[in-house]
Amino acid sequence: MKPFRYDRAADIPAAVGTLARERAGVFLAGGTNLVDLMKLGVMQPDLLVDVRRLTSAEIEDLPDGGLRIGAAVTNSELAADRRIRSRYPALSQALLSGGSGQLRNLATTGGNLLQRTRCAYFYDTTTPCNKREPGTGCSALEGCNKDHAIFGASRHCVATNPSDMAVAMTALDAVVRIQGPGGERAIPVTELHRLPGQEPERDTTLEHAELITAVDLPPLEFSSNSGYRKARERASYAFALVSVAAALQVRGGLVRDVRIALGGVAHKPWRAHTAEDALRGAPATEESFREAAEAELADAAPLPDNGYKVPLARNLMMRALLDLSGGS
Amino acid sequence: MWGMDVEITLNADGRVHRLDIDPRTTLLDLLRECIGIWSPKKGCDHGQCGACTILLDGKRVNSCLALAVAHDGAEIITAEGLTSDSGLHPIQRSFIEHDAFQCGYCTPGQIVSAVGMLDEARAGWPSYVTSDVGAVETRLTDEEIRERMSGNLCRCGAYANIVPAIREAADGVRHR
């Protein structure tokens, strides 16, 4: 591992200020992805600013009935929280499907959102990768791309975002709170991650030295009727091939409201707006669910090795919605 | 500034250590190379096998992915530290009684992980196979044990005996 300096700032403004002065520095929280990337030489920061003990490790009730999750809350504590389990079960399930018990005990909420892709070429420093070394090319385009994106990719990068947690947060309209050199701001989680375009080295819209301090979950009348389904190559402890987070409200046999997000299909968690729009007001039937899923997937652009993700995403969406509608 | 050592203090298996370390040092390397506690094993060194599992401030974690500088003041328990004056930990005894290992390389990590996992289950934590994550009580079935222990790999394939060893120690454990 390349040598680096380690800084434990006194508070968040000091951490942000320190990193703002060090272009080649990064924040450290749980470290489960960052330390691995540093061992492999994929990331070679000169400075680590440790923020794990600076941001909140609490989950607070908000006056509007929502919850504020401190950035340092571990994935395991968040998944086990009684309020999350009863009011936002999709988030609890998504977290529990990610990593292992050991990893979830180290990994934090902020760090989970900022984990890097698991594209094998990104991790292999002997191969070209525009995300790791801009301008060198994308090895996955001509190589093995079975794990890669079917939505929103560019000729510069076809990598996917690996987070399960972020998929559930995307379906649940979460808001990310950020503190940076220019002050504080809050953005929908759908605006945190970005599509690769011509700058695949940028995973998110965060500016340098901006720190995620918390994630807010707004109240949603039907979020207690939500769930997360994940297809992967082994029964446990694997990243998603495709996953779906969904919340559904049915009244009198009709879909009154719905939230759907897909994982494993794009450079960011993919909010399925087309499917949602098709479903509002439609009968809560298998046929409607299939039509909505197919409408969402009409724009999919699979690569040579990942065409399977299109029917897999369709089936996962249908299964998730059927489960939530109480159907079989 | 490069390579400047940082002073940290750790309690490892009941003994306090004050060390000057390179910031690159993981807890795994610190325990094995600096302190001489060899029960956490370096399997993959990437958080994928669980052989390095320790209890860090009471929670099971992969020590290969934790930078020691970030855990100044921490209390660590390894498989060696689970034993007491009265002998082996019940999980350790159960692994022996059930012949729950072959080569033994993954065993310290399996045992520490099982201890941490049972504490999590006692605290009422659900798992991905828990049918209703909102439920107040769930039984620790074999399926639950396998899911909760999936972060520990055994290349000999001793799982057939690992699950019963943990199940016996888990008897009576319920989600609350």
In this prediction, residue B175 carries a pLDDT of: 43
The whole domain housing B61 covers: 6-78
Number of continuous H segments (helices) and E segments (strands) in chain B: 5, 5
Closest CA to A227 of A248, A211, A212, A200: A248
Domain end marker among B78, B99, B133: B78
Distance CA A119, CA A147 (A): 8
Which residues in chain B are closer than 8 Å to A6, comparing Cβ atoms? 6, 23, 67, 69-70
Claim to verify: residue B137 and residue B163 sit in the same structural domain: yes
| Residue B15 main-chain phi, psi, to 5 deg | -115, 140
| Residue B74 main-chain phi, psi, to 5 deg | -75, 160
User: Which amino acid makes up residue B89?
Assistant: H
Inter-chain CB proximity A3 and B2 less than 8 Å: yes
**B74 in A contact zone (CB under 8 Å):** no
State the complex-level ipTM: 0.96
Find, in chain B, the residue whose alpha carbon is nearest to that of A40.
B46
Distance CA B160, CA B45 (A): 25
As beta bridge partners, residue B26 has: B67
**B16 in A contact zone (CB under 8 Å):** no
Inter-chain CB proximity B126 and A28 less than 8 Å: no
The closest CB to that of A6, out of B69, B128, B130, belongs to: B69
**B63 in A contact zone (CB under 8 Å):** no
Residue B3's Cβ-count burial label (10 Å; 0-12, 13-18, 19+) is: exposed
B176 occurs within a structural domain: no
Claim to verify: residue B125 and residue B59 sit in the same structural domain: no
Contacts 24+ apart (CB under 8 A), A2-5: A2/A38, A2/A41, A2/A44, A3/B2, A3/B3, A3/B22, A3/B23, A3/B24, A4/A38, A4/A45, A4/A46, A4/A47, A4/A48, A4/B23, A4/B24, A5/A46, A5/A47, A5/A48, A5/B1, A5/B2, A5/B4, A5/B23
Number of C-beta neighbours around residue B154 at 10 A: 24
pTM (whole model) above 0.95: yes
The C-alpha R_g of chain B, in whole angstroms, comes to 17
| Bridging pattern class, strands A242-251 and A59-61 | unpaired
In this prediction, residue B2 carries a pLDDT of: 56
Find, in chain A, the residue whose alpha carbon is nearest to that of B117.
A101
Q: Which domains does chain A have, with CATH numbers?
A: 226-324 (3.30.390.50)
Claim to verify: residue B94 and residue B166 sit in the same structural domain: yes
Claim to verify: residue B57 and residue B17 sit in the same structural domain: yes
Closest CA to A225 of A99, A70, A93, A109: A93
Distance from CA of B117 to the nearest CA of A (A): 8
The mean per-residue pLDDT over the stretch A268-277 comes to 98
Which residues in chain A are closer than 8 Å to B151, comparing Cβ atoms? 99-103, 237
B28 occurs within a structural domain: yes
| Bridging pattern class, strands A242-251 and A25-28 | unpaired
B161: domain CATH number? 1.10.150.120
Number of domains comprising chain B: 2
Which residues in chain A are closer than 8 Å to B136, comparing Cβ atoms? none
In A39-63, which positions are buried (b, 16+ CB within 10 angstroms) versus exposed (e)?
beebbebebbbbbbebbbeebeeee
Which residues in chain B are closer than 8 Å to A103, comparing Cβ atoms? 47, 61-62, 65, 151
Claim to verify: residue B72 and residue B100 sit in the same structural domain: no
User: Which amino acid makes up residue B83?
Assistant: T
Number of C-beta neighbours around residue A17 at 10 A: 14
Chains A–B, number of C-beta pairs less than 8 Å apart: 116
Q: Say whether A258 sits in a helix, a strand or coil.
A: strand
Closest CA to A210 of A218, A220, A202: A202
Claim to verify: residue B71 and residue B110 sit in the same structural domain: no
| Residue that has been written with the tokens 């990590």 in this structure | B109
Claim to verify: residue B16 and residue B65 sit in the same structural domain: yes
Distance CA A242, CA A229 (A): 9
Distance CA A161, CA A95 (A): 15
Distance from CA of A106 to the nearest CA of B (A): 6
B19 CB-side CA count, 13 A: 24
The closest CB to that of B128, out of A35, A96, A224, belongs to: A96
Claim to verify: residue B53 and residue B99 sit in the same structural domain: no
Assess whether pLDDT exceeds 80 at residue A253: yes
Residues in chain A: 328
Quote the mean pLDDT of chain A: 97
The mean per-residue pLDDT over the stretch A37-47 comes to 98
B85 occurs within a structural domain: no
Find the angle CA(A227)-CA(A325)-CA(B142) to the nearest 5 degrees.
45
B96 occurs within a structural domain: yes
Which residues in chain A are closer than 8 Å to B77, comparing Cβ atoms? none
Find, in chain B, the residue whose alpha carbon is nearest to that of A235.
B147
In this prediction, residue B86 carries a pLDDT of: 86
Domain end marker among B78, B110, B136: B78
B83 occurs within a structural domain: no
Which residues in chain A are closer than 8 Å to B23, comparing Cβ atoms? 3-6, 48
A268 CB-side CA count, 13 A: 23
pLDDT tier for residue A76 given thresholds of 50, 70 and 90: very high
Inter-chain CB proximity B134 and A86 less than 8 Å: yes
Q: Which residue numbers in chain B have pLDDT < 50? A: 1, 174-176
Find, in chain B, the residue whose alpha carbon is nearest to that of A84.
B134
Distance CA B50, CA A102 (A): 8
User: Residue A156 in contact with residue A196, Cβ under 8 Å?
Assistant: yes
Inter-chain CB proximity B65 and A35 less than 8 Å: yes
The mean per-residue pLDDT over the stretch A23-49 comes to 98
Distance CA A186, CA A204 (A): 14
pLDDT in tens, A105-124: 999 999 999 999 999 999 99
User: Residue A129 in contact with residue A231, Cβ under 8 Å?
Assistant: no
Claim to verify: residue B109 and residue B60 sit in the same structural domain: no
Find, in chain B, the residue whose alpha carbon is nearest to that of A105.
B61
Inter-chain CB proximity A106 and B113 less than 8 Å: no
**B59 in A contact zone (CB under 8 Å):** yes
Residue A299 CB partners (closer than 8 Å, separation 6+): A151, A274
Find the angle CA(A97)-CA(A103)-CA(A106) to the nearest 5 degrees.
125
Domain end marker among B45, B78, B111: B78
Interface test with B, best of A102, A124, A226 (most B CBs within 10 A): A102
The mean per-residue pLDDT over the stretch A138-154 comes to 98
Claim to verify: residue B43 and residue B11 sit in the same structural domain: yes
The mean per-residue pLDDT over the stretch A203-216 comes to 98
Which residues in chain A are closer than 8 Å to B71, comparing Cβ atoms? none
Share of chain A above pLDDT 70, in %: 99
In this prediction, residue B63 carries a pLDDT of: 98
In this prediction, residue B174 carries a pLDDT of: 45
Tell me the residues of chain B between 76 and 135 that have a Cβ less than 8 Å away from chain A.
113, 116-117, 120, 123-128, 130, 133-134
**A93 in B contact zone (CB under 8 Å):** yes
B147 occurs within a structural domain: yes
Assess whether pLDDT exceeds 90 at residue A305: yes
Distance CA A203, CA A185 (A): 18
Closest CA to A103 of B10, B2, B48: B48
pLDDT tier for residue A328 given thresholds of 50, 70 and 90: very low
B175 occurs within a structural domain: no
The mean per-residue pLDDT over the stretch A207-228 comes to 98
Find, in chain A, the residue whose alpha carbon is nearest to that of B63.
A102
B107 occurs within a structural domain: yes
Inter-chain CB proximity B117 and A100 less than 8 Å: no
B67: domain CATH number? 3.10.20.30
In this prediction, residue B3 carries a pLDDT of: 60
Which residues in chain B are closer than 8 Å to A4, comparing Cβ atoms? 23-24
pLDDT in tens, A288-304: 999 999 999 999 999 99
